Amino acid sequence: MTTSHHPIAIVGAGLGGLTLARVLHVHGIPATVYEADPFAKSRTQGGQLDIHEDDGQRALADAGLTEEFRAIIHEGAEASRVLDQHGKLLFDAPDDGMARRPEVLRGDLRRILLDSLPDQTVQWGHKVTGVRPLGDGRHELTFADGSSVTSRLLVGADGAWSKIRPLLSDAEPEYTGTTFIDTYLYDADERHAATAEAVGVGAMYALTPGKGIIAHREAGNILHTYVELNRSAEWIAGIDFTDVAAATARVAAEFDGWAPELTALITDGETAPIARLIHTLPDGHRWGRVPGVTLLGDAAHLMPPSGDGANLAMLDGAELGKAIAAHPDDVEAALTAYEEALFPRTEPFYADAHDMLDLCLGDRAPFGFIDLFDGDPQEQR
């Protein structure tokens, strides 16, 4: 197969990579996004995200998509409540209507970004199998179908297990000791009334040291659950998640004695449980300047989930796009400006992410987590 050339190649059609492509498009700069998925809706895109004013919303403004973003907000979803394992309400923060961190579905957010790009910007079914430097800041990508492409600017927006990161850094993700397990309930109010009442209209947290159940009410009367367990990777590997009934029973057994309206989020799950081992890059991960290549989002600064990951990825994409637009004829100047701002901007979030895990599952759970809400609950979510 022949090798084509694209001046700006972005690997990964997640929120960060798409934001970069959109901001470049706003500035009249073409880019091509290479994505392993065969098409846009080939897999679900995860749950609800709260989009923050100072990063995610700012990035969407730079992308010219504020109006489209406002149209997909799940109204009322900023409400939060904390229960104990017996279902007793410990804390309740209604949605105050201010929408400072409005909730949207990740899939809806990705859709408005995709719809804002010219046709053929995203090249689906392009799984990267190799990447090599060619000198002078140029790189060659090779794909699973045997095709290849060269670039003068390569951006790794390809997540935790980035194929581009090794060009810049020897760092590898490490398991944090915590695993999230996803389940869903549909038609919740009609079919799972007691559980729907326990969850409420927004987010519900039932937390104890070492384990917890978090559920979000999503648009369409859906309850999306994240079971959180501090367990070894070996313990998780010992569960056969291809055997749905056995895996469900094994996870539910960790919550023996909990209120049935809470354990129903596991036992009544209407999709196969999916285990997501939580990994992190070293705190404050950074790299030296390598000509023609950089990273954004989880590829650059993977950390435990704390509500900031998607927001930071979109801000990375917007800031990189603006840096390229400011230095259209000098790739190295653009990448230097971007990285010099990126590293100090993201470093404090590592500590915040580790602290959030500890507040949710550490020795003081759930009361350390409740302390977050003191003063201004919406600011602490």
**In which residue are the tokens 């993700």 written?**
173
Query: Are 42 and 64 within 8 A, CB to CB?
Result: no
| Residue 294 token pair | 């950089």
Q: Which residues pair with 301 in a beta bridge?
A: none
| Residue 257 token pair | 């004695």
**Cα atoms found within 13 Å of the Cα of residue 187, Cβ hemisphere only:** 3
Chain centre to alpha carbon of residue 267: 26
**What would you report as the CA-atom Rg of the chain, rounded to the nearest whole angstrom?**
21
Rounded to whole angstroms, the Cα distance separating 103 from 50 reads 4
Strands 174-185 and 222-230: antiparallel
Q: Tell me whether residue 355 is annotated as binding.
A: no
Q: Tell me whether residue 298 is annotated as binding.
A: yes
CB atoms within 10 A of CB 238: 10
Rounded to whole angstroms, the Cα distance separating 70 from 62 reads 15
H-only helix segments in 127-268: 188-191, 193-199, 233-237, 244-253, 260-267
Q: Tell me whether residue 50 is annotated as binding.
A: yes
Q: Cα dist. 117→41, 63, 229 in Å?
A: 16, 11, 39
Taking CB atoms within 8 Å and a gap of at least 24, the contacts of 231-237 are 231/177, 231/178, 231/179, 232/177, 233/175, 233/277, 236/179, 236/275, 236/277
Q: Which amino acids are annotated as binding site, given as ranges? A: 43, 50, 106, 298
Q: Which amino acids are annotated as binding site for NADPH, given as ranges? A: 43
Q: Which amino acids are annotated as binding site for FAD, given as ranges? A: 50, 106, 298
